[in-house]
Amino acid sequence: MWRLLQQIKKVGLVSEPKPAPDATMLQRQLQEQVRRVFGRALAIRQVDAGSCNGCELEIHALHNPYYNLEGAGIHFVASPRHADALLVTGPVSRHMAEALRRTYDATPEPKLVIAAGDCAACGGVFGENTCATIGAVANVVPVDVVVRGCPPTPTALLQGILAAISKRASA
């Protein structure tokens, strides 16, 4: 026990600080926009098209109490048939390209596609048109919003989702 306490004292606080107030404001804006544009919850289907899973860790963080995505009326669904938007990560591996196309086709119109992370934007560290990857999500399906970052922060992801909803509102 004593050694554990000494270790805690030595290491200190290692968790990330609370999000800046702009994250809380973003969350409120999202909540208002979802209610205004959809009049119900916004359903997102996440597609890992070859990610290293770094992006997924940040997406996962959106569900913690700080970012509180569900509190904004946004939830993830298991089937593209129930989704309003696709959130796609990764440099689209050749093995996942057809699955991504089919997922896109299975999502009802009008649909939104958010390419999340540098890999989804341009192939990132994996590059484009290699033996294993096609690269940008836009090379496979139409993309509405791109969120840069490797990985993108939860705040950047919230901004990307908000941008996609605003695009739908102005369509």
Binding site for ligand SF4 (CB under 6 A): 51-52, 54-55, 89-90, 117-119, 124-125, 150-151
Beta carbon of residue 89, minimum distance to ligand SF4 (angstroms, whole number): 6
- Between residues 121 and 141, which has the closer beta carbon with respect to ligand SF4? 121
Report, in Å, the least distance between residue 53 CB and ligand SF4: 7
Residues present in the chain in total: 171
Task: Please name the residues in contact with 67: beta carbons below 8 A apart, sequence gap of 6 or more.
Answer: 19, 23, 27, 61, 154, 155, 158
Pick between residue 34 and residue 145 the one whose CB is nearest to ligand SF4. 145
Residue with CB nearest ligand SF4? Answer: 54
Q: What are phi and psi of 145, to 5 degrees?
A: -140, 140
Q: Which lies closer to ligand SF4 via its Cβ, residue 23 or residue 55?
A: 55
Nearer to ligand SF4, 117 or 154 (CB): 117
State how far the alpha carbon of 128 is from the alpha carbons of 28, 53, 156, in Å.
Answer: 37, 18, 23
The answer to whether 42 and 84 have CB atoms below 8 angstroms apart is yes
CA-nearest of 59, 53, 51, 90 to 160 is: 59
- Shortest CB 90 distance to ligand SF4, Å: 5
